[in-house]
Amino acid sequence: MSVTQLMPGNDRVSIELGEDGVAQVRLTRGDKMNALDPDMFASIIEAGSVLEKADGVRVVVLSGEGRAFCAGLDITSLGGTPSNDEPDLTERTYGNSNKFQQVATQWRKLAVPVIAALHGVCFGGGLQIASGADIRIAHPDTRMAIMELKWGLVPDMGGYALWRGLIRDDVLRELVYTNREFSGAEAQSLGLATYVDEDPHGRATAIATDIANRNPHAIRGAKRLSAGMIERDTDGILLEESIEQHAIMRTKNQMEAVMAGMQKRAPKFEDV
């Protein structure tokens, strides 16, 4: 299967889009465990923008090269006093997010599903980026932690917004206050990993391939409904569900595809 390089020449992030619509996004600073320096922040944000504009993207698999998914902030890249040219953290430079939040929240904003494959180390900002994905597949031995309190900071990069609905409030508080390390296997029991697998990238790609074979309009609609499920009241959810379904059913070619799919996948009565 041929692939298209969507970010050729970038030394922090690569994107390969397959004919099946699965985009493989890789953090490629493997020699530094994909730690987040200024160029990595910029490249991840660029990757989100490229994916949003690219034709044919149906699902994204997000992973890291080398020994880690992402080790969090590269402390050695900090230059001390912030530049006067840097926007204040309270400024909303990317919709509802600042630059540091955008690297994680953009995966929720992306119109298509995102599946993160986690291995090695997933600390601090790396965990926030993973939390932005719709689905997380972790190797059972992945080392994970919410690190910010270790440095005297509060969790940022959109963590609190992304963790809603994933993890119990009291458990999250304990992880935040203590910044203790936990494994991929524990992450699944806590709600921060969807599945554990010895081959997280293979499992993530298999799920992505399955999703890519579904009606892309329905998948995108389902992601929009999922995004509003926590914040909307019941009346709002019911209305948005009807709007999404109506948009599909009123389009002749989409309905023809839906009916053909039903006929193809429907179980025979004798098999039920």
Same domain, yes or no, for 56 and 106? yes
Q: What is the CA radius of gyration of the chain?
A: 20
Domain shared by 23 and 10, yes or no: yes
Say if residue 127 is in the same domain as residue 240: no
The parts of the chain modelled with pLDDT lower than 70 are 79-84, 252-272
CA-CA distances (angstroms) from residue 87 to 24, 40, 63, 252?
A: 31, 18, 29, 48
Do 206 and 220 belong together in one domain? no
Q: Are 143 and 202 found together in one domain?
A: yes
pLDDT in tens, 93-120: 899 999 999 999 999 999 999 999 999 9
- What Cα–Cα distance (Å) separates residue 266 from each residue in 113, 214, 253, 258? 25, 15, 20, 12
Domain extent at residue 175:
3-212
- On whether both 143 and 244 belong to a single domain, the answer is no
- Supply the pLDDT for residue 267: 58
Taking CA 127 as the corner, what is the angle to CA 211 and CA 166, rounded to the nearest 5 degrees? Answer: 65
The domain spanning residue 222 has which CATH number? Answer: 1.10.12.10
- Residue 118, classed as helix, strand or coil, is strand
Which residue, of 176, 197, 212, is where some domain finishes?
A: 212
**Final residue of a structural domain among 185, 212, 239:** 212
What is the per-residue pLDDT for 67?
Answer: 97
- Model pTM? 0.91
* Same domain flag for 245 and 132: no
| Residue where a domain terminates, one of 212, 232, 247 | 212
Give the per-residue pLDDT at 140. 98
Instruction: Answer yes or no: do 34 and 52 share one domain.
Output: yes
